[in-house]
Structure 1
Amino acid sequence: MNVLSVENLEKSYGEKILFQNVTFGLDQGQKVALVAKNGAGKTTLLRCLCGMESADQGNIVFRKEQRISWMEQTEDFDPNATVWDLIADNQHENHQLFYAYNQALENNDAAEIDRLTDAITANNAWGVEAEIAKIVQILKLNPKDRVGSLSGGQKKRISLAKVLLADADFFILDEPTNHLDLDMIEWLESYLSSTNATVFMVTHDRYFLESVCDVILELDEKNLYKYNGNFSYYLYKKAERQEQLASSIEKAQNTFRSELEWIRKQPKARGTKQKARIDAFLEVKETASQKIKNDSMELLVKMERLGTKIVEFHKVSKAFGDKTLLQSFSYNFQRQERMGIVGNNGTGKTTFV
């Protein structure tokens, strides 16, 4: 069942065209990732889908009566609200029912208990509070904390919780794994893979893409390409597409050189057949002038070569007050080593770096 149709979408900022002629459709339950180099317009396209920005032209049509829930990279929250209040707000009516139900139990009000029992049952809401508590625990949030006291990462996890608890048919997620530790990411992989909802996301987490997504959309040089497969399949098909493009460009360049010689030999006054050949020459020229850009989607940092040994740690320790993050760490980092630092949030990864 088709749940989203996008036709001929175009968006520019001034003279800079972000994307043009973007056309694609999604079916119910597909897990889709939008990939591109930084600045290509990924977040802008997401915001167009959500109605937060208007496209310059084109159409976006969601299936009617579809519940859509989306998460931005940043979101403003009331600093005085608690974590629980913000997350439960998605279930505002059910949350009020449970509050009233608990009050009725305390007051031993049998008639009110019966009425609220029927209302909660009608809303199919008996598991709502338990589901909220479960996700709050998984995302390592304290339900009583005030938002004003939280870090940016904790606020991002509140946004994620609100989206996932919205009981939606279509999730739109912008960098959902940011500020999640390994356990949270593994849980989110399982959650999104098993949901019947359609998922449309932007993420730079390659392994998350590989595990969750079955469709990859790539924005490349203002155009969109669709690959029906996981991230590995996308890499294979993209390389294949670039090889075909390189072959077409090489062929066009050879034709261009021979036709350019013919153009130079022609008199200024030309007939109809000559004009048609000139028009064809101009088309070939456009193809021949293309260049294949293979910009990385990841940030690359140039480093100078410093010899075999890069840096040596000898019994390095670090603590904040009574909390020890690193103790007696010793290691010689060698040139061309590839090392990753993993650990739960708050264990000292960023401090170590």
Structure 2
Amino acid sequence: MSILSTEQVGHSFNDKWLFKELHFGLQKGDRIALVGINGTGKSTLLKLLAEVFPPEEGKIVKEKGIRIGYLPQEPDFSGLNTINDFIYSADNEQQQLIKQYEELIDSPTVDENKLAIITDQLTALNAWEYEYNIKTILNRLQISNFDQKIDSLSGGQKKRLSLAKLLIDEPDIYILDEPTNHLDIETIEWLEKLLTTGQKTVLTVSHDRYFLDNICTEIRELDKAKVHLYKGNYAYFLEKKAEREYNDAIQAEKARNLLRRELEWMRRQPQARGTKSKSRIDAYYALEEKSKGPRAHDKVELSVKVSRQGSKILELNNVSKSFDGHTFIDNFSYIFKKGDRIGLAGKNGTGKSTFLNLLTGTLSPDAGTVDIGETTKFGYYRQGGLNFDSGDRVLDIVKNVAEYIKMANGDTLTASQLLTLFLFPPEKQFGMVSKLSGGEKKRLQLMRVLMANPNFLILDEPSNDLDIDTLNVLEDFLINYPGILILVSHDRYLIDKLTEQLFIFDGAGDVTIYNGNYADYKAEQELKLKEEKSIDKTTKESPTTTGQSNKKKLSFKEQFEYDTIEKEIEVLEKSIIEKTDLLNNTTEHEALTEISNEIQNLQKELDKKSDRWIELSEYI
């Protein structure tokens, strides 16, 4: 039985019907991915099911008492001031108590009596585990400054904040629109485990194919206003979709042959178009529709020319780079060679962006040299997006680079012709860049990078806001790209398919070169962790009798302190990473000094907490 469903739902956009008389149901425990090309109405359907707005036709039906959690692509925080205002719901007693508890322990002078009362209340409500879960979610999503103004957050921070709130609230149904955008790989893997734990009901739209494979038990494709069901993960969907389209093509060819005969009848029998022939006439028009077959989707075409590359490409010799005493790259050397396809791995704030800026000359190393070959031509697709003036037209953005572009096959295209290949029709070419969607801006930015004919291509998070179809075309182009490729991406599928080597950043200066892709590296790390746990378990299972009898046990208060310190250490570590990342992107001298002092104070506090944790852990 469905706990959330549509009944004869229809909805239009810009006077065009996205779907009519649509039935879509969710049962408890379903984990469903909604897929389809851009413009089919996937996000609109999610909003209808989440009751963001009502459908133009039909209705949404849900089981009584069902709570829906909805993650939009662009969260709205209207009427909210700080992160605290958003995270802790006013109507949730546990969350309000936790908020008061956090504010008390963070205050310079702690009211011990009030703290004792709230502690007792939290214990009575069995809320300590809930409090721990909240802290885990916030730490994982890099949210630590609860007094920060929401208006000051970046788009990625707002998306993570919205996801954190949804996970904290633990709804009955999770409706997620591109949940993996702005998350690093480790956080995506954590989110996968969270969503597949327990009998959660999940409906998601995502371009991340590994994410879909790992969490979904069913794929539903929205195509031509109809929903096609595939029981299985994304890989199964691709296989069965190909079979369906093949069968549809065969049926369409049969329909076309029959249509020719029916067309002759329609032409010969003008007098027969009365009441008695109406059914056959209706059948003719139905046959005409069927004969059209599967729709041929428009596709981006990537085939630009690559500049000639000499024998010397790029050489890093004992390169080091630090910011205010913190070393991100220490004595690293590498000689780039033809055919290199390298992925950069490591948590946020470990030095990947610093490394890219060193390669391209935006930053200078503190020690060592970066020697760039004379024929090396960089193409740098940055995560930040396009820089444009509010009055810039789409065509102007391209013409600013070149009026004519040489393609791989030798053809010369005008800027307008190239835009058409990248799915920008004339009406969009003369429109303002500010009117483009996020995905269209990313596509335009990618086009600008490629049209400069680079032979050393750097892509920093290229998959954000691109649909799966465009990603597939990008992958096909990059597989055959003859130049050097460096890829930074949270999309594990993209990393696995396009890279053969990893540079792994640990954030403390060490950059490890790993021969293989991310799947190889992950499997090796999991095996290593399993072996370490096995050794640790063996050691713990064979203590000396004397050690067992003399071991002190923690009091209730010490145990509580131990558990609290663990959480506080996690928060401090996250804060240091965030401050370090901010430091890397700051050029103003006063701000650099201030942030550096903050990092030093945080580090001192971390050392103090760590020492106490080690002391207490002796008795665990």
The two structures have a TM-score, normalised by structure 1, of 0.82
Pairing 1:132-151 to 2, within 5 Å after superposition: 132-144=134-146, 146-147=148-149, 148-151=151-154
Secondary structure at the counterpart of residue 196 of structure 1:
coil
Report the residue type matching 1:18 in the other structure.
L
Give the CA deviation at 1:76.
Answer: 3.6
- Does 33-42 or 339-348 show the bigger shift? 339-348
In structure 2, C-alpha distance between the alignment counterparts of 1:10 and 1:87, rounded to whole Å: 34
Residue 186 of structure 2 is aligned to residue 155 of structure 1: no
Shift in CA distance, 123/62, structure 1 to aligned 2, threshold 3 Å: farther
CA–CA distance in structure 1, aligned partners of residues 11 and 287 of structure 2: 27
Match of 2:297 in 1: 295
Distance 1:234 1:330, change over 3 A: same
In structure 1, distance between residues paired with 2:309 and 2:91: 56
Q: Structure 1 residues 117, 331: CA separation in 2 closer, same or farther (over 3 Å shift)? A: closer
Whether the aligned pair in 2 keeps the contact of 1:18 and 1:222 (CA below 8 Å) is yes
In structure 1, what is the equivalent of residue 26 of structure 2?
Answer: 26
Aligned residues: 346
Pick closer, same or farther for the CA change 1:222–1:99 going to 2, 3 Å.
closer
194-203 vs 91-100, greater mean Cα deviation: 91-100
Specify which of 226, 231, 235 is matched with residue 232 of structure 1.
Answer: 235
Contact 1:72 1:173 in 2 (8 A): yes
The answer on 1:179 being equivalent to 2:182 is yes
- Bigger shift: 13-22 or 78-87? 78-87
The residue that corresponds to 1:3 in the other structure is 3
Counterpart in 1 of 2:128? 126
- Rounded Cα–Cα distance in structure 1 between residues aligned with 2:186 and 2:119: 36
- Alpha-carbon distance change, 71 to 311 in structure 1, aligned in 2, over 3 angstroms: farther
Cα RMSD (Å): 3.6
| Offset of residue 14 of structure 1 | 3.7
Counterpart for residue 43 of structure 1 = 43
Question: Cα distance 1:96–1:256, how it changes in 2: closer, same or farther (>3 A)?
Answer: closer
Tell me, which stretches of 5 or more residues in structure 2 are unaligned? 357-381, 384-457, 460-620
- 1:205-220 matched pairs, under 5 angstroms: 205-220=208-223
Alignment of 1:97-108 (within 5 A): 97-98=97-98, 107=111
- More deviation, 145-154/49-58: 145-154
The residue type paired with residue 40 of structure 2 is: A
Provide, for residues 128-150 of structure 1, a one-character-per-residue CA deviation record: whole Å limited to 9, x for no partner. Answer: 22112111211222234613443
Q: CA deviation at 1:226?
A: 1.9
Name the structure with the higher strand share.
Answer: 1
SS of equivalent residue, structure 1 residue 146:
coil
Contact 2:29 2:201 in 1 (8 A): yes
Kept in 2, the 8 Å contact 1:44–1:53? The answer is no
Instruction: Pick 1 or 2: higher relative contact order, CA cutoff 8 A, min separation 6.
Output: 1
Q: Name which of structure 1's ranges 264-273 and 252-261 shifts more when overlaid on structure 2.
A: 264-273
Letter in 2 for 1:240: E
Asked whether the 8 Å contact 1:21–1:223 carries over to 2, the reply is no
Name the aligned partner's letter for residue 179 of structure 2.
P
CA contact (8 A) 1:181 1:345 kept: yes
The alpha-carbon deviation at position 343 of structure 1 amounts to 4.0
Query: Where does residue 336 of structure 2 map in the other structure?
Result: 331
Indicate conservation of the 8 Å contact 1:313/1:329, yes or no: no
- Counterpart residue identity of residue 245, structure 1: D
Which of the numbers 255, 259, 271 marks the counterpart of 2:258?
255
Indicate yes or no: 2:74 matched with 1:74.
yes
**Mapped partners of 1:58, 1:199: distance in 2:** 23
Q: 1:40 Cα shift?
A: 1.6
Q: Which moved more, 1:315-324 or 1:128-137?
A: 315-324
Contact 2:192 2:214 in 1 (8 A): yes
Question: How has the CA–CA distance of structure 1 residues 276 and 223 changed in structure 2, closer, same or farther, with 3 Å as cutoff?
Answer: closer
Say if 1:80 and 1:146, in contact at 8 Å, map to a contact too: no
Query: What code does the residue aligned with 1:151 have?
Result: S
More helix by share: 2
Distance 1:76 1:330 in 2: 47
In structure 1, runs of 5+ residues without a counterpart are none
Q: If the length of structure 2 is used for normalisation, what is the TM-score? A: 0.49
Q: 1:59, CA displacement in angstroms?
A: 2.0
2:40·2:223 contact (CA, 8 Å) conserved in 1? Answer: yes
Counterpart amino acid of residue 156 in structure 1? K
Report if the CA contact (8 A) 2:177-2:206 is conserved: yes
Does the 8 Å CA contact 2:248/2:293 hold for their aligned counterparts?
no
CA contact (8 A) 2:175 2:204 kept: yes
Identity of aligned residues (%): 40
